[in-house]
Amino acid sequence: MLYEAILLFAVAFLGTWLFQFAAGTLRIEGWRMHLLQLFLLALFAAYFLWCWLRGGQTLAMKAWRIRLVAKDGHARLAPHAALLRFVCALLLVPTLIGIAWACVDRDRQFLHDRLAGSLLLPVP
Q: Is the model more confident about 99 or about 40?
A: 40
For position 52, what pLDDT does the model report? 96
Over residues 32-57, mean pLDDT: 95
Total domains in the fold of the chain: 1
**What is the rounded distance in angstroms from the CA atom of residue 112 to the CA atom of residue 101?**
9
**Residue 109 region by backbone torsions, left for phi larger than 0, else alpha for psi between -120 and 50, else beta:** beta
CA quadruple 84, 40, 35, 111: dihedral positive or negative?
positive
Give yes or no for a contact between 7 and 59, defined as CB atoms under 8 angstroms apart.
yes
Q: Which helix (H) or strand (E) holds 69?
A: strand 66-70
Q: Which domain holds residue 45?
A: 2-122
For position 88, what pLDDT does the model report? 96
Over residues 30-54, mean pLDDT: 95
Give the pLDDT band of residue 83 (cuts 50, 70, 90): very high
Give the pLDDT band of residue 18 (cuts 50, 70, 90): very high
Give yes or no for a contact between 120 and 98, defined as CB atoms under 8 angstroms apart.
no
Residue 26 scores a pLDDT above 80: no
For position 98, what pLDDT does the model report? 85
For the whole model, what pTM was predicted?
0.88
Give the pLDDT band of residue 75 (cuts 50, 70, 90): confident
